[in-house]
């Protein structure tokens, strides 16, 4: 992965919007000089932050557009008032439309020629053409490495010679219709989405360490309506997944089991999850929460193992999202995955309110981090290929909804 920071000038103002099933958050940041680490923004300064209870969404799917718009506007208004400025454009993170992950490779015959930049460009274009006309929304499409005649792990092939040049790619996609609906809510809130970042990718950037990304790490974001997964290895983003089950489902299970209101079930969940002694007060509730969390972890483990490489690639598990605050979550994850587990929290920066140094806000901060590193998205490189029903047009350029309506 190319981890050289983008030439974003100090003083640049960026706004992020994280649309979740339990809350919607908005963050306005002034960037400072780029940090040496591509995974953090140590010199950034928080200007404003706002968050609102999410309404009208279930599992990332829009059920009530007006309610979603109201929640978006409420979060943005709070951030704007705190920042003392209004925003029109923002970067969006969402976890909707059954996020999928695909890895594939393409080849270019060289006949012994010395590899030039034109060869690399041609090969990358072949990689982009593989998904450019996909019926899915392509959130991320990235080259993850090269190989020459079987020699793998090459980052910059220019200057080498060989018979065949290979390139590997990782694509993250989502169903088009749910994403279109969610983006319509953003635009109907008088805001312009500049790009969309997959929520698991954003959470990973906010919480993983550079060493972990190189050695292998799986980041699990335990959200309200969804639980998402991102795997990095060799410095590359290699796998992603999302399931429509999170903290809200745990509250619903408690409500059904004990015949209480959803609000009382939510209070009970938080009470049991905070301290170990509370589990002794409500042993049946604690056992139910434990089973629910194990179910989420087993599902993600199954997806990683089905991918054929993601499970073995991850040497460490990082838990983030609001569900990571459950007292037993790390130990349960360690039991299921058989790997070291830690809780990932966004690093504090200047002007960052204490409540934002919290796993529940990882994706929000990760949106900003994603704009500060050069990850060479194929859709950006081959802008001329856009305009089809692909996430390249959706994820990187204006007139999103007109493209999606084609």
- CATH number of the domain residue 251 falls in: 3.30.420.40
| Pair 369, 389 in one domain | no
Tens digit of pLDDT for each residue in 230-277? 999 999 999 999 998 999 999 999 999 999 998 898 888 888 877 666
**Percent with pLDDT over 90 in the chain:** 57
Task: Express each pLDDT in 80-105 by its tens digit.
Answer: 999 999 999 999 998 876 888 999 99
pLDDT band at 386 (very low <50, low <70, confident <90, very high): very low
Residues 329, 314 within the same domain: yes
* Arithmetic mean of pLDDT, 141-168: 92
Task: Flag whether 191 is in a domain.
Answer: yes
Is the domain of 225 the same as that of 314?
yes
Segments forming the whole domain that contains residue 314: 209-343
Q: Are residues 183 and 255 in the same domain?
A: no
> What are the pLDDT digits (tens) for 387-401?
333 333 343 333 333
Residues 218 and 313 in one domain: yes
Out of 257-271, 300-314, 334-348, which region has the weakest mean confidence (pLDDT)?
A: 257-271
Question: 348 lies in a domain?
Answer: no
> What does the pLDDT look like over 134-143, one tens digit per residue?
888 888 899 9
353, part of any domain: no
Q: Residue 239 to residues 10, 156, 280, 305: CA-CA distances in angstroms? A: 32, 22, 38, 11
* 167, containing H or E segment: strand 164-174
The alpha-helical segments, DSSP class H, found in 159-236 are 176-187, 199-207, 210-215
Residues 319 and 271 in one domain: yes
Q: Domain check: are 219 and 202 in the same one?
A: no
Residue 9, classified by CB atoms within 10 Å of its CB into exposed (0-12), middle (13-18) or buried (19+), is: exposed
- Is 235 in the same domain as 326? yes
Of 152, 207, 267, 219, the residue nearest 39 (C-alpha): 207
Q: What is the distance between the alpha carbons of residues 319 and 333, in angstroms, rounded to a whole number?
A: 8
How many domains would you assign to the chain? 3
Say what the pLDDT of residue 377 is.
79
* 124 & 154 share domain: yes
Residue 355 resides in a domain:
no
Cα gap 404→177, rounded to integer Å: 9
Is residue 40 scored above 60 in pLDDT? no
Which pLDDT score, from 0 to 100, does residue 276 have? 61
Give me Rg for the CA atoms of the chain.
21
**Sign of CA pseudo-dihedral 359, 209, 294, 306:** positive
* Structural domain includes residue 69: yes
Task: Output the six-digit token pair for 155.
Answer: 């980052």
Identify whether residues 219 and 313 lie together within a single domain: yes
């Amino acid at each position: 992965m190319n981890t050289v920071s983008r030439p974003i000038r100090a003083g640049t103002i960026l706004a992020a919007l994280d649309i979740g099933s339990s809350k919607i958050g908005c963050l306005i940041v002034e960037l400072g000089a780029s940090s040496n680490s591509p995974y953090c923004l140590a010199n950034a300064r928080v200007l404003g932050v706002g968050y609102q209870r999410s309404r009208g969404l279930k599992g990332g799917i829009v059920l009530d557009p007006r309610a979603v718009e109201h929640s978006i506007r409420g979060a943005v208004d709070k951030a704007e008032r705190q920042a003392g400025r209004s925003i029109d454009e923002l970067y969006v993170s969402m976890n909707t439309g059954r996020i999928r992950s695909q890895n594939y490779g393409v080849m270019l015959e060289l006949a012994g020629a010395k590899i030039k930049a034109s060869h690399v460009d041609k090969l990358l274009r072949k990689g982009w053409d593989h998904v450019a006309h996909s019926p899915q929304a392509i959130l991320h499409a990235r080259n993850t490495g090269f190989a020459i005649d079987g020699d793998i792990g090459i980052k910059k092939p220019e200057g080498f010679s060989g018979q065949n040049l290979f390139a590997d790619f990782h694509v993250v996609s989502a169903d088009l219709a749910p994403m279109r609906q969610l983006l319509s809510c953003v635009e109907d809130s008088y805001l312009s989405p500049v790009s969309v970042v997959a929520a698991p990718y954003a959470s990973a950037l906010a919480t993983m360490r550079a060493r972990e990304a190189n050695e292998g790490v799986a980041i699990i974001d335990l959200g309200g309506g969804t639980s998402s997964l991102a795997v990095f290895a060799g410095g590359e983003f290699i796998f992603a997944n999302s399931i429509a089950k999170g903290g809200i489902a745990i509250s619903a299970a408690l409500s059904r089991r004990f015949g209480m209101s959803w609000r009382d079930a939510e209070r009970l969940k938080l009470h049991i999850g905070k301290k170990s002694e509370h589990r002794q007060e409500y042993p049946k509730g604690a056992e139910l929460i434990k089973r629910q969390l194990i179910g989420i972890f087993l599902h993600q483990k199954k997806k990683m193992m089905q991918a054929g490489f993601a499970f073995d690639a991850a040497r460490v598990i990082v838990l983030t999202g609001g569900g990571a605050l459950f007292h037993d979550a790390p130990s349960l994850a360690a039991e299921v995955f058989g790997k070291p587990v830690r809780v990932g929290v966004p690093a504090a920066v200047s002007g960052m309110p204490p409540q934002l140094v919290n796993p529940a806000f990882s994706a929000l901060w990760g949106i900003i981090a994603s704009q500060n590193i050069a990850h060479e998205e194929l859709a950006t490189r081959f802008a001329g290929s856009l305009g089809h029903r692909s996430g390249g047009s959706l994820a990187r350029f204006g007139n999103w909804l007109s493209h999606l309506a084609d």
